Structure 1
Amino acid sequence: MLLAVTGLVAVLVAGGCSAGDSDSRPGSAAEAPAGGGADQRDQAAPGEAGAGAPDLRIDQRSIIYTGTMQVQVDDVERAARDAIAAVDAAGGFVGGDQRRSESADARAELELRVPAAKFTAVVDELAKLGRQQRREVHTQDVTEETVDLDARITSQRARVESARRLLNRATSTSELVNLENELGRREADLASLEAKKRRLADLTALSTITVTFVGKDASTEAEPTEIGFLVGLRGGWDVFVASVTVLLTVLGALLPWLVAVGVPVVLLVRVLRRRRRTPPAGPMPMPPLAPPAGPPGGPTAPPQVPATRSAP
């Protein structure tokens, strides 16, 4: 009995030790499915998440930078030359140049195109040429539009190649004409898409800065609005003086014409009036005839009164 019990305990202990050893091994079958599945999920997750998604990093986005600024300087011409030199050093160029050289109100407006990566540095450098009065910077993100254009261009190129293959296999004149027209439309659409892509690429690669340099005597601040009797009187007097000035200017312009045309007309009118007042020359008028006189020295016969008939 004692030997049987001892043998049974020995068998149970040996079975427990072998089971513990098998569970504690690192390459055991119990750990393999769990560990292997987790590793596979971790490796597959980045690929699944990035499939078809655009790159959203800031250095990969298509952004159009546009800036406008006004700087007051002592010498407008010198500031314009310095601005052009700064743009040339940054790898850009001048897209437009308008200047007004009057000493009282000198002004220069430049349209500068600079690489997008140097946009902020060039703007800051331009502001240091004088006293900055205004600065406006606008950005437009066209990444999605650029991606859409790339996809449409790829699809349109495939359509063009398909039309060309069909054109090569045309067997009749009508089919050849139809395929040529269709190929022409597809090529025109492709050219339009490529032109849009080039335009976007130009705007994103080269930013636009419109800078205006004004002289130190230029007044750019808004004057306060004044009201009152004196203000109205001064405004009315200014309007009156301006009106008289305009009237005198017009009169001075018309005076030579009035002298050249008006004097002969006045002389002609006077001559006509004198002719109307002067009577025409002719025979003397005869005096009126006197009534006949009675017999000399005799009494004048009374007038005869007609007889009246009396009533019965």
Structure 2
Amino acid sequence: MRKAILVALLVPLALAAAACGGGGGSSSGTSGGGASQPLRATVTTAEGAPLMADLTVRGGKKLAAGRSSSSGATAVPQIGPKIVQTASLELSVKRGRFGETVDDARTLVAGLGGFVASSSASQGRGGRLVRGTLVLRVPARAYARAMSALANMGHIDARRESGQDVSAEFVDLQARERQLRAVEVQLLALLGKARNVSEALAVQNQLDETQLELEQVRGRLDYLDNQVAYATIALAVHERAPIVTPSQHHGWGVVHVWSVAAHGFVRVLEFVVVAVATAAPVLILIVLGWFGVRVVRRRRVTAQ
């Protein structure tokens, strides 16, 4: 039990050694003004036996991820701006050109080295596809060309563009990745020198947590890399409705009035004809019944 506790205390010691291994002012790891020297950490058990003998924690570029042995400052790698570009574009096209416009957009994106992430379309009257959306991913270097070419495919109803600078997050994640890699190396060294199962389990648990966090950081870096490398464009396309002129439905001329009246008369006449044709069998039966009743009454009167 005491050994397991000492192992738990040893892990923070290794982390502290990795953090200060390259510092120029450290009294145990460097000489007065020269290059960094190896740090040696030896931990013993309560019985006086060495638990982790002659553990070497090296500073400098290898484990401290760029620490300078002369100044002790962290050298952050220089990177260019990391911008995530997104845009949305709404286009209206002539009647019957929806499918052609969508095909043109697909061809354009493929030619620029991009791809269609998702697409959807819906039908209008007549069962034709008349509106839809596409989510396009294009290389960042071709973003301006893609937007210009897409805008020329129809009438622009709406256009929105934005850019998110993720440079600071990118630098922070890279620094975190270097730190976790250094911790992983130290824990692997500790695991290789474990003297029994309890010591190995204690180090292994800490190693699992470190490796899990390292994978999460790497996954976030990969995601940001992809978002920066490829711009995202949401394209919405729909066909324009036919233009209705006042003379077609809202004119007040004499010809238009007589035309509307004629259409109304024809509709009323159609309704009357349909109603008479529907009721004709019933009317015939009623008339026949009425004549039958009269014949019977006359016969009774004659018989009396």
TM superposition score normalised by structure 1: 0.51
The answer on 1:216 being equivalent to 2:236 is no
In 2, Cα distance between the equivalents of 1:123 and 1:55? 30
Is 1:65–1:116's contact at 8 Å kept on the other side of the alignment? yes
1:195 to 219, 236, 239: 219
Deviations 1:79-133 (A, max 9, x none): 0000000000000000001011324781110000000111111011001001111
Residue aligning to 2:152: 128
* Structure 2 unaligned spans of 5+: 1-70, 244-304
Residue aligning to 1:100: 122
Residue aligning to 1:83: 105
- What is the identity, as a one-letter code, of the residue corresponding to 1:117? R
Distance change in 2, residues 1:176/1:54 (3 Å): closer
Is 1:66–1:138's contact at 8 Å kept on the other side of the alignment? yes
Deviations 1:118-160 (A, max 9, x none): 1111011001001111110010001111111111101101111
In 1, Cα distance between the equivalents of 2:166 and 2:139? 17
- What is the identity, as a one-letter code, of the residue corresponding to 1:100? S
SS in 2 for 1:179: helix
- What is the identity, as a one-letter code, of the residue corresponding to 1:61? P
How many residues are paired up?
167
In 2, Cα distance between the equivalents of 1:135 and 1:162? 52
TM superposition score normalised by structure 2: 0.52
Larger radius of gyration: 1
Residue aligning to 1:141: 165
Structure ranking higher in strand proportion: 2
2:83 to 54, 60, 63: 63
Distance change in 2, residues 1:188/1:113 (3 Å): same
SS in 1 for 2:227: helix
Q: Once the 2 structures are TM-superposed, how far is the Cα of residue 218 of structure 1 from its aligned partner? A: 8.4
* Structure 1 unaligned spans of 5+: 1-47, 220-312
In 1, Cα distance between the equivalents of 2:76 and 2:175? 14
The answer on 1:117 being equivalent to 2:137 is no
SS in 2 for 1:217: coil
Deviations 1:33-81 (A, max 9, x none): xxxxxxxxxxxxxxx9xx957747xxx2100000001000121111000
Q: Which runs of 4 or more aligned residues in structure 1 lie more than 4 Å from their structure 2 counterparts after TM superposition?
A: 51-56
Q: CA RMSD in A?
A: 2.1
SS in 1 for 2:232: strand
In 1, Cα distance between the equivalents of 2:241 and 2:103? 20
Is 1:77–1:108's contact at 8 Å kept on the other side of the alignment? no
The answer on 1:168 being equivalent to 2:188 is no
- What is the identity, as a one-letter code, of the residue corresponding to 1:194? R
Matches within 5 A, 1:230-269: none
SS in 2 for 1:195: helix
The answer on 1:186 being equivalent to 2:210 is yes
SS in 2 for 1:106: strand
Distance change in 2, residues 1:52/1:169 (3 Å): closer
Structure ranking higher in helix proportion: 1
In 1, Cα distance between the equivalents of 2:217 and 2:179? 11
Identity %: 27
